[in-house]
Amino acid sequence: MSEWQPKIIIFLCQWSLKSDTEWTQRFDLPDGVRMIEVSCSGRINPLLLVSTLQHGADGILVVGCEPGHCHYKEGNYLGRRKFATLTSFLEYAGLEEKRVQFAWMGETDRGKLQTMVESLLSDVRRLGPIQELATRQVVMSTAQP
Amino acid sequence: MQELTKAIRKEARRLLESGEVDVVIGFTEGTLPLRAAPVFIRKAIDVDRLIWGPFCENNLARYLRGVRDEKVAIVAKGCDTRSVIALIIEHQVEREKVYIIGVPCQGMIDRRIVARRVPGEVLVAHQDGDEIVVEGNGFAMRLPRSEVLYRSCAACAHPNPVLYDVLLAEPVAVWAEDPYAHVREIEQKSAEERAAYFASEAERCIRCYACRQACPMCYCDECFVDHTTPRWIESGVTPAGQQAWQIGRAYHLTGRCVNCGACERACPTEIDLVYLNGKSSKDVWELYGFEAGIDVDKPPPLAVFLPDEEPNMA
C-alpha cells in the first residue's frame, strides 16, 4: 500500500477572495486538497461537514468572509454560531475537532489560505486517517486538473 | 395524584362540553403496570379514561402537529409545555389553537430501574406518598421515588409548567441543583475516554429511530437520515453510521431540545442520549444565554447573532 495521503476539502465562500479571483485560480493547492466554492459560509449545513467526513475526507477547512464583511450582511455571523456549537459537540463526542477548522478571510489576507491549509494538513497528518466516521473508500486523484 | 386525575377530568369535561376544544390529549391507564399511555379524548363521555400518575412519561407535545387543524387541549408537564413553546417559536403550532392544562410534575418513574430492583415481574404498581409500591408473585417492595426517577427527571430544571391556560395544582419546588451535572462529568474526561464512551453508547444503536419518533422537535417531513439522493449519512448499522446518526440527531436539536428525555425513554437499547442532547443545551446556554422552551418571544439561538460575540472561531 502506498503512503497515506490526507484528503482535505476546503469549503470556500465565493465572496471571501472576490477581488483576487485570478489569484485563487492560480493558487497551487497541495496534493489531496480540493476546493469547493459555496455561496456563503453561513449557508453550509453543519451536517454537510459530518457528511463530508463520512464520505472520506480526513480534514475540512471552512473559509468565510471576516465578520462585518459578509456579502449578504449576516451570513458569516450565523455560520459562526453553527460552527462554534458543532466543533464543541464533536470535541465532546471525542472526535478530534481539529479535523474541522474555520477561517475568516478578508480581501487583504493574501497568503493566509496557504498557511491555514498547511496547518490543517500537519494536524491531519498527526491525527492519521479518519476512522470513526468514514464509511466509504473514496479514490481521489492527487493530480490537479 | 387522585386529586390531579379528578381535576384533569373535570377540566377536560368542561372544555369538551362547552365546545372550547375538539380534542384533549392526555394519559390513560397503560396495558402493563408501570406504564401509562397517551390518549386522545374527543367526547365528554370518555373523560373518565384520563389519569395522572408517576408513569405519565411521554412528551405529549409530540402529537400536537398531528391535530393542527383542530382546537386542542393538552395535559402538560413542565417539559411538555417547554416543547409547546419551542414548537410555537418554530411556527409549527399556533398558540391560539392550543389550550394548555398545566400539571406540576414530580418526576416520572423509570420502569427499567424498577424492573432491575425487584426479584420478579411487576404485576401491580402504584405511588404511595414518596414511595413506589410494586408487587409481583411472591414479593412486595416499596422503593423511594428519588431512587427510581428517570435521569432526565432527576436533573429537571423546570418541573412546573412554563406556559399554561390553567394550572391544576400548586407549583412544586425544583429539586435538581445542576441540570448539566452529567454533561460536566463527561466533559472532564480525556478525549480518548470521551471517544470510547461515545463509541460504546453508539454501537448499541439498532437504527430503529424510536428516539426520533418520540421527540416533539423531530418533525421534519423527511429526516436527513432518510434522504437517499444524495445520501447525507450512512444509514447502515455500522459503527460509522451509528455514530453519524447520533451526532446528526443530537446536533440538529441544538437550541431546540428541552431535555425532556423522551428519546432516551423510547430507546430499546438504553443508549445514553441525555448526555448528548444535554451538551448542545448546555452550549447554547453558556455561549448564548438561551434556554429552549422558556420564552415564546425569544428567537432560536442559531437564527440570530451578535456582531462581537465569542467564540469568534478564527
The domains of chain A are located at: 18-127
Q: Band of the pLDDT at B214, cuts 50, 70, 90? A: very high
Interface touch A78/B302, C-beta < 8 Å: yes
CB B270 within 8 A of CB B110: no
For the ranges A115-124, B205-214, B237-246, the one whose mean pLDDT is highest: B205-214
Nearest neighbour of A54 by CB, restricted to B195, B233, B276? B233
A84: its cell numbers: 462554534
Interface touch B195/A95, C-beta < 8 Å: yes
CA gap A118, A29 in Å, rounded: 10
CB B169 within 8 A of CB B104: yes
What crossing angle do the helices spanning B273-288 and B239-252 adopt, rounded to 10°?
A: 40
CB A86 within 8 A of CB B255: no
Compute the mean pLDDT over every residue in chain A, rounded to the nearest whole number.
81
- Using CA atoms, how far residue A19 sits from A10, A15, B95, in Å, is 19, 8, 49
Contacts of A54 in chain B (CB under 8 A): 233-234, 240, 244
Whether B45 shows a pLDDT value over 90: the answer reads: yes
Nearest residue on chain A to B288, judged by CA atoms? A81
DSSP state of A135: -
Residue with cell 405529549: B60
B47 alpha-carbon distance from chain centroid: 24
Q: Band of the pLDDT at A25, cuts 50, 70, 90? A: low
How confident is the model at residue B72, as a pLDDT? 96
How confident is the model at residue A19, as a pLDDT? 53
Whether A141 shows a pLDDT value over 50: the answer reads: no
Nearest residue on chain A to B203, judged by CA atoms? A132
* Mean pLDDT value across residues A66-78: 88
How confident is the model at residue B144, as a pLDDT? 95
Q: Band of the pLDDT at A145, cuts 50, 70, 90? A: very low
Interface touch B307/A68, C-beta < 8 Å: yes
- What is this model's ipTM? 0.89
CA distance A3 to chain B (A): 24
How confident is the model at residue A27, as a pLDDT? 62
pLDDT in tens, B127-150: 998 999 999 999 999 999 999 999
**Residue B255 dihedral angles phi and psi, to the nearest 5°:** 75, 5
User: Is the model more confident about A113 or about B258?
Assistant: B258
Q: With the C-alpha atoms ordered A9, A15, A20, A22, is the resulting torsion angle positive or negative? A: positive
pTM of the model: 0.91
Contacts of B207 in chain A (CB under 8 A): none
Contacts of B301 in chain A (CB under 8 A): 81
CA distance A131 to chain B (A): 8
Residues 6+ apart with CB under 8 A from B206: B237, B268, B269
CA distance B282 to chain A (A): 10
CA gap A82, B307 in Å, rounded: 14
